[in-house]
Amino acid sequence: MSQMANWTEASKRHFSRVMSAETWLPSEMPEYAQGFMYMLGSLTASSFVVLIISGLILAANGPDTWSYNGAMRFVAATHFWAVQAFFFFMMLHLWRVFFTGAWRGGRGMTWLLGAIAFILAIPTAFTGFLINGDLYSQWNAVQAKDGLNALGLGWVNLTNAGQMFGMHVAVLPLLLTLVIGAHITRVRLLSVVPPYPDKNAGQKEGA
């Protein structure tokens, strides 16, 4: 019973921190976290929100509206450019956290979740290109299927539009949302990693 009580208390403390308003809406932020480079993660997440909203609208209206309905073409264009913004800001964010050592201070799992999100985002975007139904998407599907066959992954049928639609609309976005959500939660719990300490600080003070 004591072990069960310990697990219960630990779970209660963890969820109270996760659900705390101070965790998600802190009254103060570190000064070093107010620069533009520390906004890249927020810009990546904002692009992902636009992707989810525009993707839901496209999926609700069906593939036949993406090319012929004016409003849906606008939503499709928004979805497309949100993908470009998502990967652009994600790459900048990846470089920033790499060069600032974002895995320090017990943040290794946060870094790992971000890397997994980047890996998942690639097939998510690729399956989106494959369900356009134009000549470009069909050519990519055939060429990529040959590559997967050579790797022994022929069970992934890239030329099956229904399978790719399900992967792009349901399976991969759900996994990506869960991983990004876990990544952001850990960032909020552990805060943003501080910069590397200035090795010359002591010399400057002595001078």
Alpha carbons within 13 angstroms on the beta-carbon side of residue 94 total 14
Segment 193-202 shows an average pLDDT of 69
What is the Cα–Cα distance from 83 to 76, expressed in whole angstroms? 11
Letter for the amino acid at 11?
Answer: S
Contact between 196 and 100 under an 8 Å Cβ cutoff? The reply is yes
| Polymer length in residues for the chain | 207
pLDDT at 155 over 70: yes
pLDDT at 69: 83
Encode burial over 25-64: b for 16+ CB neighbours within 10 A, e otherwise: eeeeeeeeeeeeebebbebbbebbebbeebbebbeeeeee
What is the Cα–Cα distance from 41 to 114, expressed in whole angstroms? 10
Residue with the larger pLDDT of the pair 155 and 45: 45
Domain residue ranges in the chain = 37-100, 104-192
What is the Cα–Cα distance from 54 to 169, expressed in whole angstroms? 11
Segment 76-93 shows an average pLDDT of 94
pTM, entire model: 0.80
pLDDT at 146 over 90: no
Q: Give, for 130, the enclosing helix (H) or strand (E).
A: helix 108-130
pLDDT at 139: 87
pLDDT at 180 over 70: yes
* pLDDT tens-place string over residues 20-69: 655 556 667 777 767 777 788 889 999 999 999 999 999 998 887 877 88
Confidence of residue 13 (pLDDT cuts 50, 70, 90): low
pLDDT at 7: 67
What is the Cα–Cα distance from 136 to 141, expressed in whole angstroms? 9
Residue with the larger pLDDT of the pair 101 and 59: 59
Q: What is the percent of the chain with per-residue pLDDT over 70, rounded to a whole number? A: 80
pLDDT at 19: 63
- 167: closest CA among 144, 151, 185? 144
Residue with the larger pLDDT of the pair 34 and 122: 122
